[in-house]
Amino acid sequence: MASSRKSARNDKAGYALSLPYVIFFFLFVAYPLVFTIVLMFHRWNVVTPMEWIGLKNFERLLGDPLFFKSVGNTLRFLLIQIPLQIMVALSFAVLLNSQLRFRSFFRTLYFLPVVVSGVVVTILWQQLYSYDAGLLNRLLVGLGVSKIPWLVDPDTAMPSIALMSTWKNVGIYIILFVVGLQNIPRELYESASIDGATAMRQFFRITLPMLNPTVVVVLVLSTIGGFSLFIEPYVLTGGGPMQSTLSTVLYIYNQAFYFSHMGYAATLGFLFALVILVAVLLQKRVVETESTA
């Protein structure tokens, strides 16, 4: 009898401890997801009641060239940002993992942009990218080089945003790579040195293969972060010039809060979430397959 009472008390304590998570799940995960699915089949502008329209939002999506352009812009951003972030992060991680003086100071210095507000960073780089008075163009003119239309040319606007985004987020990937490097047994490098392997050969034969789990994590995080591109084009260019920096998230935001097309925005958001899921799964599968080949 006593044991059953104690078990009942433990069950109640367990339910009480799990209650906050259950409430959080239903309020911030289950309810928004169900509401999004409902919105996908309705027309709603927040002010008037919902109107059932069936599959019209999906039909509109298939015939919306601007949405597909925004997806193309986002993919272009990813193709620039992901390799750039990995190369920069891995290079600095190798440097910080060496016998460098003031390593802790430099690690903190590289991580600082990560904790700074994205809006603040974007406004700072907006000043740097200014065509006439920006510091970057002033330096180029001082070196005898022509000014670069960083944010006003469709060909350079997205690479400029990718460069700024890399500076903002690369700190966290540096830390991940440093941790991965520190977990590689030193005996492997010692054995390779005895066998006469050069530093470059050690890097490609030992460091990169042993860093594969970290590379997968960095790829996934960088991909998800790239797909959620919003603040940078919203503040820097508003999606221009000529819609060359209109990201998918910015387009969904405009449909929802600028045009009040809540149902259509929910449809775009749901489809885009599926695109992200498929892209991450394919990316993870390809990387793991290459690592085991």
3 state DSSP class of 276: helix
How would residue 285 be classed by pLDDT, with cut points 50, 70 and 90? confident
How would residue 1 be classed by pLDDT, with cut points 50, 70 and 90? low
Q: Which one of 15-24, 154-163, 206-215 scores highest in mean pLDDT? A: 154-163
pTM (predicted TM-score) = 0.85
In the predicted model, what is the mean pLDDT of residues 89-102?
A: 80
Is pLDDT above 90 for 198? Answer: no
Q: Which residue has the higher pLDDT, 286 or 31?
A: 31
Q: What is the residue extent of each domain of the chain?
A: 2-39, 64-292
pLDDT digits (tens, 9 = 90+) for 151-175: 999 999 999 999 999 999 888 999 8
pLDDT score for 16? 80
Provide the CB-side half-sphere exposure for 232 (13 A, CA). 28
pLDDT score for 56? 92
Is pLDDT above 90 for 249? Answer: yes
Mean per-residue pLDDT over the chain, rounded: 86
Q: What is the DSSP letter of 207?
A: I
Q: Which residue has the higher pLDDT, 4 or 136?
A: 136
Nearest to 248 by CA among 275, 282, 281: 275
pLDDT score for 247? 94
Is pLDDT above 70 for 179? Answer: yes
In the predicted model, what is the mean pLDDT of residues 265-293?
A: 79
pLDDT score for 47? 86
Tokens of 254: 């405009």
In the predicted model, what is the mean pLDDT of residues 51-77?
A: 92
Read off the amino acid at residue 124: L
Tokens of 103: 């390593």
Answer CATH for 64-292 from 1.10.3720.10, 1.10.10.10, 3.30.470.10, 1.10.1270.20: 1.10.3720.10
As a whole number of angstroms, the distance between CA 49 and CA 46 comes to 7
Provide the CB-side half-sphere exposure for 192 (13 A, CA). 16
